[in-house]
Amino acid sequence: MAPDAFGCDDVGVAPWWSGPDHTAARRRMVDVQLATRDITDLRVLAAMAAVPRHRFVPASALADAYEDGPLPIGAGQTISQPYIVAFTLQALDLRPGGSVLDVGTGSGYQAALLAEMGAVVTSVERLPSLAVAGRDRLADLGYAVDVVEGDGSLGWPPGAPYDGIVVAASGPAIPDELVAQLGVGGRLVMPVGGRRHGQELVRVTRREEGTDGAVRESLIPVSFVPLLGEAGWSL
C-alpha cells in the first residue's frame, strides 16, 4: 500500500470522520478528557472542539484520533496527547492577536489550535517533509500559519519578539535563544529534562529585558520526543 501524507502505510481504515460522528467525537474529547480535569480556559476548550484532530493523523491512526494519547505521525515524531496540548495552551495564556512561535510543527495540529484561538502563528519545523505536509494541511483547512524550515531550538529571530513560544519537544535546558525572543511579559512553555524520560513541562515568563529577568515555573511531568538542534540535543 502507498504511504499517506505522513509517510505511514495506509491500512485501509474507513474514513469514519467523514460522517457526522467526528463532531461528536471532538465534543466527547473536550467534555470527558479536558473539561472534567483542570482545563478551564473556555478559549482552549472551544478551539479543541473546533479543530478536526483526525485531519492531523495518518490513516492508520484514524480510529484513535480522539483518544487521549499521542499518536505517531512518521519520521519518528508524534502528535501529542490532547490533554497535554490543552494544558500547554492554557499555560501559555495567549490573548487573541498575540504573536506566537510554535517550535516543532509536526502534523500542524498545535499551530491550528493557536490560529483557531486568534493568534498570529509562526511555526518552525526541522524536517522538510513535515514542514511541507504541515504547511499544505494548514492551508487546506484555512489556517493562516507561516510554516518555516529551520532549527527550532534557536527559535525564529525574523519574527521576534513573540508574545508566546510553545515547544513540542524536550530540551536538556531552556535555550537562552528562545527566552531572548520573548517580548516583555511573554511566556514560553516547553518540556525540559532527559532525552526521553524525567521531563517536566516548564513555563518561563519574561518580566524584563535580558534572560536574567525571566521567571521559571515547573508545571507537570510529561514525556516528549527530544528537541534536536544546536541549542537542544545533538542529532
Position 9 in a domain: no
What DSSP state is assigned to residue 102? E
DSSP string, 105-127: -TTSHHHHHHHHTT-EEEEEESS
Q: Identify the pLDDT of residue 32.
A: 95
What percent of the chain stands above pLDDT 90? 83
Nearest alpha-carbon partner for 203 in 81, 93, 83, 80: 93
Q: Identify the pLDDT of residue 21.
A: 54
pLDDT in tens, 157-192: 999 999 999 999 999 999 999 999 999 999 999 999
213 pLDDT band (50/70/90 cuts)? confident
Residue with cell 519574527: 159
pLDDT in tens, 10-39: 333 334 344 445 889 999 999 999 999 999
Position 32 in a domain: yes
My answer on whether omega of the bond before 161 falls inside 30° of 0, hence cis, is: yes
Q: Identify the pLDDT of residue 210.
A: 61
Q: Identify the pLDDT of residue 7.
A: 46
What's the distance, CA 29 to chain centroid? 17
Position 227 in a domain: no
Nearest alpha-carbon partner for 75 in 102, 52, 51, 105: 105
62 vs 14: CA distance, rounded Å: 8
Residues labelled catalytic: 80
Position 125 in a domain: yes
Nearest alpha-carbon partner for 130 in 142, 147, 145: 147
Q: Identify the pLDDT of residue 207.
A: 87
Does the pLDDT value for residue 3 go beyond 70? no
DSSP three-state, residue 159: helix
Does the pLDDT value for residue 9 go beyond 80? no
Position 5 in a domain: no
Q: How many domains does the chain have?
A: 1
Domain CATH for 201 = 3.40.50.150
Q: Identify the pLDDT of residue 22.
A: 82
DSSP three-state, residue 164: strand
What DSSP state is assigned to residue 54? G
Residue 147: enclosing H or E segment and its boundaries?
Answer: strand 146-149
Position 123 in a domain: yes
5 vs 73: CA distance, rounded Å: 9
pLDDT in tens, 55-100: 999 999 999 999 999 999 999 999 999 999 999 999 999 999 999 9
Radius of gyration over every alpha carbon of the chain, rounded to an integer in angstroms: 17
Position 189 in a domain: yes
Q: What is the mean pLDDT of the chain?
A: 90
Whole-prediction pTM: 0.90
Position 3 in a domain: no
Identify the residue with better confidence: 69 or 212: 69
Q: By residue range, what is the domain housing residue 25?
A: 16-222
